[in-house]
Structure 1
């Protein structure tokens, strides 16, 4: 990216451009140089003109944008490499504990189910036997076994709940914060570069463009025909090359002129000259 070439904003940065433009138009009446907004050109018309000239305006902050985009890409590369490395090494790390964790999960799920089923069966049979007259002697034993399995069921449910809570806390502590669209959790250096680009874009790009649009009568939307763009803009960080036709202002492109030589015979010099 070169200072004299219009930078092409990445799609993820166009939202920043539009947000800065909207803020400038929203607060236009707080700036004396933009007090004319709404008289000849309203905010929506200026916004459309600026969006159509995004590449021209962005050129004013080309150096800052290049720096911001470069260090942002560099900051993303180590994180990507670390995530790939972790995903590759994760099976090796968990290989020794995978079977133990799987067995514990199975037990945690099965204990409440089996315990609850056994408790229901033993309690139902025990109370049915207690209803008989006379009640069998092992009816109380059936009830005791049923309540024992009921207690195991309660303990299993509590253990499963604690296990789920610990797993959720562990995953929450190791989870990386997601980057919000348009700029969320950014490293300090990237954040400073982004703010420098935004400031340069506003002060050297958007505001000069808006001032030029308001001062240029050729951009009057009430004029007949399609709206015309701003004719001239203040210098905002680059200059256009000066092209001229071969015949304008210079003789560099003119074709040289030639005159034929004047040949005369050695013994004829005109009527006033007589040969000797």
Structure 2
């Protein structure tokens, strides 16, 4: 296997965190205020959760790039045997990658100090670079999910509600009931 399979659990956890971040953003909060109660925060959240597959499809390119980078960081066969068997190891990996990426400058310094330099070498450890690449790819995927997936979806639902209210759709639904 050249790259790990997408984890529905991982996608779900990231999606919910990004969704909460989007719902708390000034842009969405302002749109909620303008919509004048057409949707509550929880109603928007529920709609987004139902549309998760479509929303995440909008950033499939970034997700595939993240999977490739993660595969490169963990080796051609994926994570080590023990990590594949233990379910918690995958969850912790998602937490460890950003930490390792932050530690990249320190790792580079240590690697440079411990081995002799050859001409033209920058002293970087390939492992540190691939881990940092995986962390960067994950950040790019999450940012794309927020900016091109979740926020536009939420704003679109609120815009539809505003347009419907402006056209009087709520009132037109009531007319047939009154006419009976």
- TM-score, scaled relative to structure 2: 0.55
* Structure with the greater alpha carbon radius of gyration: 1
Structure 2 unpaired stretches of 5+: 1-5, 83-88, 98-130, 174-180
**2:152 aligned residue:** 208
> CA 1:37–1:184 in structure 2 vs 1: closer, same or farther (change >3 Å)?
farther
Give the match for residue 63 of structure 1: 61
Count, aligned residues: 123
Partner of 2:50: 52
Q: What secondary structure sits across from 1:75 in the alignment? A: helix
Q: CA RMSD in A?
A: 3.3
1:13 & 1:48 partners in 2: Cα distance?
Answer: 16
Gaps of 5+ in 1: 1-7, 85-177, 225-276
Q: In the TM superposition, what is the alpha-carbon distance from 1:38 to its structure 2 partner?
A: 6.8
Structure with the largest fraction of helix: 2
CA positional deviation for 1:210? 0.6
Paired residues of 1:29 and 1:37 also in contact (CA < 8 A): no
CA drift at 1:59: 2.0
Q: State the Cα deviation string for residues 97-145 of structure 1 (Å, max 9, x = none).
A: xxxxxxxxxxxxxxxxxxxxxxxxxxxxxxxxxxxxxxxxxxxxxxxxx
Residues 71 and 40 (structure 1), Cα distance of their counterparts in 2 relative to 1, 3 Å cut: same
Q: Deviation per CA, 1:164-186, whole angstroms, max 9, x where unpaired?
A: xxxxxxxxxxxxxx664471111
Determine if the alignment matches structure 1 residue 41 to structure 2 residue 39.
yes
CA 1:37–1:21: 2 relative to 1, 3 Å: farther
- Listed as ranges, the matches of 1:1-276 within 5 Å are 10-28=8-26, 32-36=30-34, 39-77=37-75, 180-181=91-92, 183-186=94-97, 187-217=131-161
Note the alpha carbon deviations across 1:206-261, whole angstroms, 9 max, x for none: 111111100113889x898xxxxxxxxxxxxxxxxxxxxxxxxxxxxxxxxxxxxx
CA 38–52 in structure 1, closer or farther in 2 if over 3 Å, else same = farther
SS in structure 2 at match of 1:23: helix
Higher relative contact order (CA 8 A, sep 6+): 2
Question: What secondary structure does 1:216 align onto?
Answer: helix
Residues 40 and 56 (structure 1), Cα distance of their counterparts in 2 relative to 1, 3 Å cut: same
Q: Secondary structure at the match of 1:183?
A: helix
Work out the CA distance in 2 between the residues paired with 1:81 and 1:24.
32
